[in-house]
Amino acid sequence: MSKTVKRIMSVILAVVMLLGCTSAAFAAYGCNCGTSPLIVVSGMAAWPLVQDEGTENEKQVFAPDTESILKLVGEIAGPLALFAVNKDYNKLGDSLIPALKEILEPLACNADGSSKYNITTDIYPESMASYPEFANNTEFTANEPAVVREAVEKIGADHVYYFNYDWRLDPMEHAKELRKYVERAKEETGHDKVNLAGASMGGTIIASYLAMYGSDNIDNFTMLSSAFTGTTIVGNLFNGRLEINKEGLIRILKEVVGVEAVNILFDALDKAGVFDILVNFADSLFANLQDRIYDEVFQDTFITMPGIWDLIALEDYEDAKAYLLDPRTDAALIARIDNYHYNVQAKLPELLEEAMENGVKVNVVSHYNMQGVPITPSYNEQNDNVIDTKYTSGYAVCAYLDETLPEDYKQQNTVCKDATHNHISADRIIDASTCLLPEQTWFLKNQKHVGYMYHTELMDFILMLCLGDTQYTVDNTQQYSQFMEVDPKTGELSIIGAIGGEEPSEPETTTEVVESTETEPTETETEVTEPTDTEPVETETEEDTTEVTETETTETETQPSETVSVPDETQTEPTEEATEPDVGSSETALDEQTEETSNDNSQQTQAVDVGDSLIAIVPFGAACAALVLTVKRKRNKI
């Protein structure tokens, strides 16, 4: 009898356990832990891209594997030696270009921005409970994997997910996949919302998700040195604005390597003139082989990737399209990247506002005082080695590297209208009053791109934001403040503090503010609250949304965004137009805009004329940037 009971009991138990494994059962019970599951959305090139995975032809195509690199070196070593004698750039090109083409061709996309070849990357569709070798990997000491690892320790492996993707492709396509992760995380954990953390390019996917599906399923999202409002480097490269800066090159090498002994070596090499030779060689190589490299290699590779296009900020976007794309032959790609730029990036102010009205907690983390990749004229802008501070912060005003905002500079209060707030960093480098979210944007000085280190105060701070079930602001973030300096070795934070705000002796600061309203990065409040026209992206939740919008956006060719300089040396501001792109609406609006910006265009034409001779360097620069990113990531810096 008791045996039978035991047997029945164990059968029942087994059934219950089986049910327990299904998401439905979990969802039915819910979870009382108080912290929504976290989905970490990785940055660009977190893991290799592989061609024909699982077949005998399997090959890593990005970053190029050692075999490919050695092959390239082997193929150009001879011609390079010959070049040293005859200085014949075309002969060198005859070897270099086909070798380069062979390495990059597998990365090409089709005319519509889909992958041309069978390329895959590592994905982790289940919670980290299914990947203990990832979740507990002690080699993960920095960057997204370290965030995942530490989050697993804090809230449990079954509450942490990691979303990785093919960085070449459309973030709006990735958002569809992310939605599946969100649904799965909800079902498996029994929570009704999730937390999203987007590192670097990951921010473009979270922004796409918001535009396509809204924020109902989101508890909290955090942008971590994210490209959600763009990057200058891709915008410059895709506009032919290329400039190699020697000092910047040495500085970034030092920052990336970060070893004093090696710094001394760099200085010695510089004194010996090595960097001059390198920079001069690169300059003449570009000048001589630009057209060929462009036509024979990059037109069919980097220029075909929507993921790279969507890293361009609005202010550079239309120029880049005019510069590199043909409205007819590239129509499908244009439709795709227009959709992102005008229904996601340009709508960020509304998207963030709507999310917050919906009770979502939103945080932005931006880094500064680091050298960007110095191959474009923006080499001296505040950066984190990869993305400009003005974009990772959602449009802060920043002094150039090694400079400060002018002495008489007053915070612009274009978004935070409260003149009594202090949004200028005490080191006078950042004015956060112009950010999309001035009260929810934190700045980390001397912090590398993403780069959050395991078991540090820095990581505690990041996870506090990413997992927060209350909305922190720069004034109520426990022991933290809006501006903090990071010790690159220990990850300890020290408060820099903020200055600015209204000075009692000068109550007439409003005049200055009025003066600078032209440069407002976001629309006025009225625009935010203004009911938006019926945008399919915002109103629909079906996956077809993108398709619908794509067709509409094909017609919008000219949405030039106006770049207005601040009257002093501070950086250019995000655009006014950026926030009013009526995609798919009447042509009149477009015409008006075109007229408004005609002055700008003439200036740009000049710039393009100068840049014309550089046209082929554009994609080469993109490749350099991508390679630098990869090398840096390999060193655990991204």
Where does this chain bind Zn ion (CB under 5 A)? 31, 33, 416, 418, 421, 438
Residues 6+ apart with CB under 8 A from 271: none
3-class secondary structure, 444: strand
Per-position b or e across 96-127, b if 16+ CB within 10 A of its CB: bbebbbebbebbbbeeebbbbeebebeebeeb
Min dist. Cβ of residue 613 to Zn ion (A): 46
Q: Based on CB atoms, which residue is closest to Zn ion, 33 or 325?
A: 33
Q: Based on CB atoms, which residue is closest to Zn ion, 33 or 464?
A: 33
Among 191, 178, 210, which residue's Cα sits nearest to residue 358?
Answer: 210
Min dist. Cβ of residue 576 to Zn ion (A): 21
d(CA 441, CA 422): 13
Min dist. Cβ of residue 191 to Zn ion (A): 6
Q: Based on CB atoms, which residue is closest to Zn ion, 160 or 348?
A: 160
Q: Based on CB atoms, which residue is closest to Zn ion, 33 or 528?
A: 33
Q: Are 37 and 127 in contact (CB under 8 A)?
A: yes
Compute how many other C-beta atoms are within 10 angstroms of the C-beta atom of residue 9.
10
Q: Are 14 and 6 in contact (CB under 8 A)?
A: no
Q: Based on CB atoms, which residue is closest to Zn ion, 418 or 591?
A: 418
Min dist. Cβ of residue 406 to Zn ion (A): 21
Min dist. Cβ of residue 55 to Zn ion (A): 40
Q: Based on CB atoms, which residue is closest to Zn ion, 219 or 255?
A: 219
β 218-224/49-51 pair status = unpaired
Q: Based on CB atoms, which residue is closest to Zn ion, 31 or 360?
A: 31
Min dist. Cβ of residue 476 to Zn ion (A): 13
d(CA 573, CA 564): 6
In the chain, % helix, strand, coil (3-state, to 5) comes to: 50, 10, 40
The alpha-helical segments, DSSP class H, found in 487-578 are 510-515, 525-529, 536-539, 545-553
198 bridge partner residues: 41, 223
Min dist. Cβ of residue 601 to Zn ion (A): 35
Q: Based on CB atoms, which residue is closest to Zn ion, 154 or 176?
A: 154
Using the structure block, give the residue that is written with the tokens 């938006």.
Answer: 532
For residue 572, report the phi and psi dihedrals to the nearest 5 degrees: -70, 155
Q: Based on CB atoms, which residue is closest to Zn ion, 188 or 552?
A: 188
Residues 6+ apart with CB under 8 A from 459: 146, 147, 150, 452, 453, 491
Q: Based on CB atoms, which residue is closest to Zn ion, 31 or 387?
A: 31
d(CA 551, CA 88): 48
Min dist. Cβ of residue 219 to Zn ion (A): 11
Min dist. Cβ of residue 33 to Zn ion (A): 3
Min dist. Cβ of residue 269 to Zn ion (A): 46
